[in-house]
């Protein structure tokens, strides 16, 4: 508790001492909201400056990007491709979640499964799974299937690892107390292990969502003519960088919103862990 | 990737379960792996699998062939160069700025909105646009890789510095240590474990982006090589390329783990990082 | 009622072999309140865990009413220092849980939970979540939950250790009052001499390295105990006696403990 106070004090400790008149102004200038806005404005300003100075079609200013964005939106293309990317992406994520979640829990409670899966997870994690994509295309063709499979493959690992950790993170004494009441294995799982593991499960989900977006984007660069990734590649091939950036910004917005949704969901389901940030 | 990669990194250090000694765990692990490989090989030999699915022995053979032929070196070189350049640039800047953001609220606030808005963007999405501007060159690829590698390092270094028990800093101030000394002798070591976790994630991302940037546009390198092999139907070369990429990832990760241990990545930094 | 027969517990920590317990003999009579006192590392917690059926002796046996203890059971309720309530359930649901595990329907279980909560002084807090309660209140809830199992033995591992001094005293008085009315057998571990004397019919002092019983002291203060008991002059005698025992023990075992790498 005291630590939080100290941390809060540090957070505002950027105050600069000065004369009483100067202190007012510098206090305002150095306050959080102002600085944050300034920082963002500076970056956007720099972009705009670069675009203006450069003046070519290839380095679009913010207003050009905005126009392209509106154009894509009105044409319906943005929504159409976004829908495709998202349905496939979340489908892959769902599959991954079910499989990885189940295996993670089982591996956490059963040493045989844990030992069996161990090498695959340990060695599979640092490997860029994208390299396997050609094989998946060979297996499932160049359509929705291969993309969903690739997403499922890449999201598997973080979800597995987090669910595993969650199932293992049950306080031993809590488990003892549960066993003390004579609770059987199933009840132990549903009433104690799963709720205890939920915070971890959500964190795993939170890590997996950006991965899903990355994988969808990349796989949509290759073949097929659908999805936001395709839209970016197409715009780039026409040297329409403004549209490309517009779609990039859209992806960013989607990522941001998805993350917020997961965090909000976590806050509601895992209501007993207040103020926990990952 | 998000900061919770720190936990994932810890989780990857697996412990043996109650009811299983280290020897028995090892036994099951090896047996199962051998079993999977054997079944895979058997299925290939029987001919049940399609022609483009190679068995483990065939893959090993193809890999050796590619390695011997000198193609492998020719491809690995440029790929590693790009991946590692991007990694070093991105993570170095990320760690430095992250530490700075951790100790200075002013700095942190200045960066805050930009960081939050750009973080959720899949950086690979930037590649086509950047390639238009800079061509499908090493420069554009390294740039995208560096940008991707920046974020995990930045976030983890920042959180590492933020998570330092404030009392450690008070001790330094009490002793009259200058800000610079405090930074280098207290903040940096205390934040290091968490920062190193971020750097590991950055490395992983660098390799993923290495492959991702090579499958688009004309290129040399492992990723390009294996895509080309796929298109030409040269499955041997394709699998060899996959193995090469996998090896890069695994080896570099192991090396980084060693380095991290030396740099004190496993130490408890006195109350850091309950976040 | 409870018998610890020549129990030895050793385990390996790296290269060291730790003698947590060495040929310990202990008997607990039915309905007795036994307190176990001792420094860290004397094996008292391990002993309690064995009575609970969560750990097992390397040699010797642990029995309840003549039957060997082979695992945890509802007849021996454990209470730990951390209440370990499920944060995702209300206090009432927590207390009702052991009943539901045994098959009691929800409504009945909740009604019984309310009774127990009233008994421990938490009648109004049934709907609260554990995160909203203070440490002392959480321990009361934990106690209510354990009582819901209707155990014949209560095994308590420094349950008040994490509480502040005032709350601790209140809880001690509550506990002795509850115990007096219940007739349960209690084995209670503590660091605190005063607590041991106030609560126990008998105080067993354990020593470390190796873990064993050093002293077995009957406390002959009048029952039922209350805050007035604390004014009894004999408490001072008991205290200085036990303090002396403990002091001797820690002087004796300090070098040995340092070696054991504690």
Confidence (pLDDT) at B216 = 81
Question: Would you tell me which residues 15-74 of chain A have a C-beta closer than 8 angstroms to some C-beta of chain C?
Answer: none
Partnered with residue C68 across adjacent β-strands are: C63
Residues of B in contact with A65 (CB under 8 A): none
Q: Which secondary structure element, helix H or strand E, spans residue C204, and what is its range?
A: strand C202-207
Local confidence band at B125 (pLDDT 50, 70, 90 cut-offs)? very high
* Residue A251 contacts residue A217 (beta carbons within 8 Å): yes
Question: Would you tell me which residues 159-198 of chain A have a C-beta closer than 8 angstroms to some C-beta of chain B?
Answer: 161-162, 164-165
Local confidence band at A24 (pLDDT 50, 70, 90 cut-offs)? confident
Task: Report in angstroms the alpha-carbon separations of C236 from B144, C51, C231, C232, C249.
Answer: 76, 31, 9, 8, 20
User: What's the first-to-final CA gap in chain C, in angstroms?
Assistant: 34
Is C64 strand, coil or helix?
strand
Q: Which secondary structure element, helix H or strand E, spans residue C37, and what is its range?
A: strand C33-37
A145 class by beta-carbon count within 10 Å (0-12 exposed, 13-18 middle, 19+ buried): middle
Q: Mind telling me how many Å the CA of A180 is from chain C's nearest CA?
A: 5
Is C60 strand, coil or helix?
strand
Q: Mind telling me how many Å the CA of B105 is from chain A's nearest CA?
A: 6
**CB proximity A265 to B under 8 Å:** no
Whether residue C210 has a cis bond before it, omega within 30° of 0: yes
Q: Does A39 sit within 8 Å of B114, measured CB to CB?
A: yes
Instruction: List the single residue in C with minimal CA-CA distance to A171.
Output: C84
Q: What is the DSSP string of A29-76?
A: HTSHHHHHHHHHHHHHHHHHHHHHHH-STTS--HHHHHHHHHHHHHHT
Q: Which residues contact A40 (CB under 8 A, 6 or more apart)?
A: B113, B114, B117
* Residue A200 contacts residue A105 (beta carbons within 8 Å): no
Q: Which of A37, A115, A233 sits opposite B28 (nearest CB)?
A: A115
Q: Which residues contact B27 (CB under 8 A, 6 or more apart)?
A: A115
Instruction: List the single residue in C with minimal CA-CA distance to A176.
Output: C54
**CB proximity A262 to B under 8 Å:** no
**CB proximity A8 to B under 8 Å:** no
In the predicted model, what is the mean pLDDT of residues B47-63?
86
Is B186 strand, coil or helix?
helix
Q: Does A137 sit within 8 Å of B208, measured CB to CB?
A: no
* Residue A194 contacts residue A182 (beta carbons within 8 Å): no
Q: Does C102 sit within 8 Å of A271, measured CB to CB?
A: no
Instruction: List the single residue in C with minimal CA-CA distance to A177.
Output: C78
Q: What is the pTM of this model?
A: 0.82
Helices H, strands E: what count in chain B? 12, 0
In the predicted model, what is the mean pLDDT of residues A27-40?
81
* Residue C132 contacts residue C90 (beta carbons within 8 Å): no
User: What's the first-to-final CA gap in chain A, in angstroms?
Assistant: 19
Q: What is the pLDDT of residues C109-119, one digit of tens each?
A: 999 999 999 99
Neighbours of chain C (3+ CB pairs under 8 A): A
Between strands C67-68 and C59-64, the pairing is antiparallel
* Residue C142 contacts residue C83 (beta carbons within 8 Å): yes
Residues of B in contact with A245 (CB under 8 A): 129
Local confidence band at A23 (pLDDT 50, 70, 90 cut-offs)? low
**CB proximity C102 to A under 8 Å:** yes
Q: Which of A11, A214, A222 sits opposite B215 (nearest CB)?
A: A222
* Residue C104 contacts residue C115 (beta carbons within 8 Å): no
Partnered with residue C67 across adjacent β-strands are: C64
Instruction: List the single residue in A with minimal CA-CA distance to C98.
Output: A181
**CB proximity C52 to A under 8 Å:** yes
Tell me how many degrees the CA angle B161-B181-A38 measures, rounded to the nearest 5. Answer: 50
CA nearest to A159, candidates A90, A88, A97: A97
- What tokens were used for A175? 């488990």
pLDDT surpasses 60 at A19:
no
State the greatest distance between any 2 C-alpha atoms of chain A, in Å, as a whole number: 75
Question: Would you tell me which residues 66-85 of chain B have a C-beta closer than 8 angstroms to some C-beta of chain A?
Answer: none
Q: Does A274 sit within 8 Å of C52, measured CB to CB?
A: no
Task: Report in angstroms the alpha-carbon separations of B199 from B203, B253, C187.
Answer: 6, 10, 51
Q: Does B166 sit within 8 Å of A6, measured CB to CB?
A: yes
Q: Does C76 sit within 8 Å of A272, measured CB to CB?
A: no
Q: Does B166 sit within 8 Å of A116, measured CB to CB?
A: no
Q: What is the pLDDT of residues B206-241, one digit of tens each?
A: 999 999 999 887 788 888 888 888 888 888 888 988
Q: Does C86 sit within 8 Å of A192, measured CB to CB?
A: yes
The residue count for chain C: 262
Q: Does A271 sit within 8 Å of C88, measured CB to CB?
A: yes
Q: Which of B24, B132, B204 sits opposite A236 (nearest CB)?
A: B132
Instruction: List the single residue in A with minimal CA-CA distance to B27.
Output: A115
Distance CA B120, CA A261 (A): 13
Q: Does A271 sit within 8 Å of C77, measured CB to CB?
A: no
In the predicted model, what is the mean pLDDT of residues A37-46?
88
Q: Mind telling me how many Å the CA of C142 is from chain A's nearest CA?
A: 10
Q: Mind telling me how many Å the CA of C89 is from chain A's nearest CA?
A: 9
Q: Does B8 sit within 8 Å of A135, measured CB to CB?
A: no
Q: Does B122 sit within 8 Å of A214, measured CB to CB?
A: yes
Q: Which of A176, A181, A274 sits opposite C98 (nearest CB)?
A: A181
- CA B244, chain centre distance (Å): 16
* Residue C10 contacts residue C19 (beta carbons within 8 Å): yes
User: Phi and psi dihedrals of C15, rounded to 5?
Assistant: -90, -15
Distance CA C189, CA C187 (A): 7
Q: Which of B133, B167, B245 sits opposite A241 (nearest CB)?
A: B133
Distance CA C106, CA C87 (A): 19
Q: Which residues contact C196 (CB under 8 A, 6 or more apart)?
A: C35, C36, C37, C188, C190, C203, C242
* Residue B153 contacts residue B265 (beta carbons within 8 Å): no
- What tokens were used for B58? 């065939």
**CB proximity C80 to A under 8 Å:** yes
CA nearest to A208, candidates B2, C239, C236, C168: B2
**CB proximity C73 to A under 8 Å:** yes
Alpha helices in chain C (DSSP H): 44-52, 91-101, 106-119, 135-148, 165-182, 193-199, 234-259
Confidence (pLDDT) at A278 = 43
Three-class HEC string of C170-201: HHHHHHHHHHHHHCCEEEEEECCHHHHHHHCC
CA nearest to A213, candidates A260, A264, A237, A248: A248
Confidence (pLDDT) at C11 = 80
Task: Report in angstroms the alpha-carbon separations of A227 from A93, A212, A223, B25, B250.
Answer: 16, 13, 11, 44, 32
**CB proximity A180 to C under 8 Å:** yes
At least 3 CB pairs under 8 A between chains B and C: no
Share of chain A above pLDDT 70, in %: 90
Q: What is the DSSP string of B86-115?
A: HHHHHHHHHHHHHHHHHH-HHHHHHHHHHH
Q: Does B110 sit within 8 Å of A35, measured CB to CB?
A: yes
Q: Does C77 sit within 8 Å of A174, measured CB to CB?
A: no
Q: Mind telling me how many Å the CA of A188 is from chain B's nearest CA?
A: 17
Q: Does A256 sit within 8 Å of B132, measured CB to CB?
A: no
- Per-residue pLDDT 10s for chain C (262 aa) are 888 888 888 887 777 888 888 888 999 999 999 999 988 777 889 999 999 988 899 889 899 988 899 888 899 999 998 888 999 999 999 999 999 988 889 999 999 999 999 999 999 999 999 999 998 999 999 999 999 999 999 999 999 988 899 999 999 999 999 999 888 999 999 989 999 999 999 999 988 778 888 888 888 888 888 888 888 888 889 999 999 988 888 777 666 555 555 4
* Residue A114 contacts residue A172 (beta carbons within 8 Å): no
Q: Which residues contact B167 (CB under 8 A, 6 or more apart)?
A: A6, B271
Confidence (pLDDT) at C195 = 92
Q: Which of C86, C101, C129 sits opposite A187 (nearest CB)?
A: C101
* Residue A178 contacts residue A125 (beta carbons within 8 Å): no
CA nearest to C188, candidates C36, C43, C62: C36
Confidence (pLDDT) at A198 = 92
Distance CA C202, CA C212 (A): 16
CA nearest to C84, candidates A185, A186, A171: A171
Question: Would you tell me which residues 65-84 of chain A have a C-beta closer than 8 angstroms to some C-beta of chain B?
Answer: none
Q: Mind telling me how many Å the CA of C95 is from chain A's nearest CA?
A: 11
Partnered with residue C3 across adjacent β-strands are: C27, C63
Q: Mind telling me how many Å the CA of A102 is from chain C's nearest CA?
A: 22
CA nearest to C49, candidates B109, A86, A176: A176
Q: What is the pLDDT of residues C213-259, one digit of tens each?
A: 888 888 888 888 888 888 888 888 999 999 998 888 877 766 655 55
Between strands C185-190 and C16-28, the pairing is unpaired
Q: How many CB pairs under 8 A join A and B?
A: 231
The residue that leads in pLDDT, B143 or A185, is: B143
């Amino acid at each position: 508790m005291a630590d939080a106070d100290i941390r809060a004090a540090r957070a505002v400790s950027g105050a600069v001492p000065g004369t009483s008149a100067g202190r007012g102004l510098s206090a305002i200038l150095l306050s959080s909201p102002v600085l944050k806005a300034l920082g963002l404005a500076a970056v956007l300003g720099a972009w705009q400056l670069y675009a203006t100075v450069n003046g070519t079609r290839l380095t679009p200013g913010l207003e050009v990007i905005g126009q392209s964005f509106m154009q894509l939106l009105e044409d319906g293309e943005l929504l159409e491709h976004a829908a495709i990317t998202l349905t496939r992406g979340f489908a892959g994520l769902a599959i991954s979640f079910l499989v990885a979640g189940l295996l993670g829990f089982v591996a956490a409670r059963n040493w045989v499964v844990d030992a069996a899966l161990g090498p695959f997870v340990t060695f599979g994690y640092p490997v860029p799974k994208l390299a396997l994509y050609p094989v998946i295309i060979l297996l499932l063709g160049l359509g929705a299937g291969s993309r969903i499979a690739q997403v499922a493959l890449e999201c598997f690992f973080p979800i597995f690892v987090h669910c595993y950790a969650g199932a293992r993170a049950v306080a031993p004494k809590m488990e003892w107390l549960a066993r003390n009441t004579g609770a059987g294995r199933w009840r132990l799982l549903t009433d104690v292990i799963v709720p205890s593991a939920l915070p971890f499960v959500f964190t795993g989900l939170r890590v997996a969502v950006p991965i899903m977006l990355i994988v969808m984007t990349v796989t949509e660069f290759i073949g097929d003519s659908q999805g936001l990734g395709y839209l970016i590649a197409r715009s780039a091939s026409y040297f329409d960088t403004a549209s490309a950036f517009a779609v990039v910004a859209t992806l960013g917005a989607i990522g941001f919103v998805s993350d917020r949704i997961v965090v909000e969901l976590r806050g509601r389901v895992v209501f007993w862990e207040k103020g926990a940030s990952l | 990737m998000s900061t919770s990669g720190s936990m994932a990194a810890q989780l990857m250090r697996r412990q043996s379960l109650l009811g299983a000694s280290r020897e028995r765990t090892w036994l099951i692990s090896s047996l199962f792996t051998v079993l999977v490989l054997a079944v895979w090989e058997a299925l290939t030999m029987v001919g049940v699998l399609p022609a483009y699915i190679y068995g483990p022995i065939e893959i090993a053979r193809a890999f050796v062939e590619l390695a011997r032929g000198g193609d492998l070196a020719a491809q690995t070189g440029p790929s590693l160069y790009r991946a590692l350049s991007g990694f070093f640039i991105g993570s170095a800047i990320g760690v430095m700025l992250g530490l700075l953001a951790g100790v200075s609220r002013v700095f942190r606030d200045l960066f805050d909105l930009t960081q939050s808005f750009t973080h959720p963007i899949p950086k690979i999405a930037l590649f086509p646009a950047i390639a238009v501007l800079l061509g499908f060159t090493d420069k554009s690829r390294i740039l995208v890789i560096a940008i991707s590698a920046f974020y995990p390092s930045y976030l983890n270094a920042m959180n590492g510095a933020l998570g330092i028990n404030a009392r450690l800093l008070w001790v330094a101030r009490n002793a009259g240590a200058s800000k610079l000394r405090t930074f280098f002798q207290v903040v940096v070591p205390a934040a290091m474990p968490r920062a190193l976790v971020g750097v590991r994630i950055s490395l992983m991302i660098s390799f993923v982006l290495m492959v991702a940037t090579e499958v688009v546009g004309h290129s040399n390198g492992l990723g390009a090589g294996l895509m080309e092999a796929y298109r030409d139907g040269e499955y041997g070369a394709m699998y060899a390329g996959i193995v090469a990429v996998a090896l890069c990832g695994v080896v570099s990760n192991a090396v980084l783990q060693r380095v991290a241990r030396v740099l004190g990545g496993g130490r408890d930094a006195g109350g850091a990082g309950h976040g | 009622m409870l018998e610890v027969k020549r129990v030895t517990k050793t385990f390996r920590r790296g290269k060291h072999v730790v003698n947590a317990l060495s040929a310990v003999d202990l008997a607990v009579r039915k309905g007795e309140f036994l307190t176990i006192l001792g420094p860290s590392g004397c094996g008292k917690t391990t002993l309690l865990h064995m009575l609970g059926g969560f750990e097992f002796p390397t040699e010797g046996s642990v029995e309840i009413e003549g039957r060997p203890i082979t695992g945890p059971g509802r007849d021996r309720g454990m209470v730990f220092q951390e209440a370990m309530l499920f944060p995702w359930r209300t206090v009432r649901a927590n207390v009702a849980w052991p009943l539901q595990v045994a098959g009691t329907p929800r409504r009945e279980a909740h009604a019984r939970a309310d009774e127990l909560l009233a008994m421990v002084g938490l009648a109004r807090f049934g709907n609260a979540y554990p995160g909203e309660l203070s440490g002392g209140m959480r321990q009361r809830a934990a106690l209510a939950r354990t009582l819901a199992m209707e155990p014949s033995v209560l095994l308590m591992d420094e349950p008040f250790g994490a509480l502040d001094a005032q709350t601790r005293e209140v809880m001690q008085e509550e506990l002795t009052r509850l115990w007096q009315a219940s007739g349960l057998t209690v084995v209670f571990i503590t660091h605190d001499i005063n607590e041991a004397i106030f609560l126990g019919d008998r105080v067993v002092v354990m020593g470390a390295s190796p873990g064993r019983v050093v002293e077995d002291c009957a406390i002959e203060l009048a029952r039922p105990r209350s805050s007035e008991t604390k004014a009894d002059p004999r408490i001072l005698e008991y205290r200085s006696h036990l303090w002396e025992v403990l002091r001797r023990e820690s002087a004796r075992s300090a070098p040995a403990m340092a070696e054991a790498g504690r």
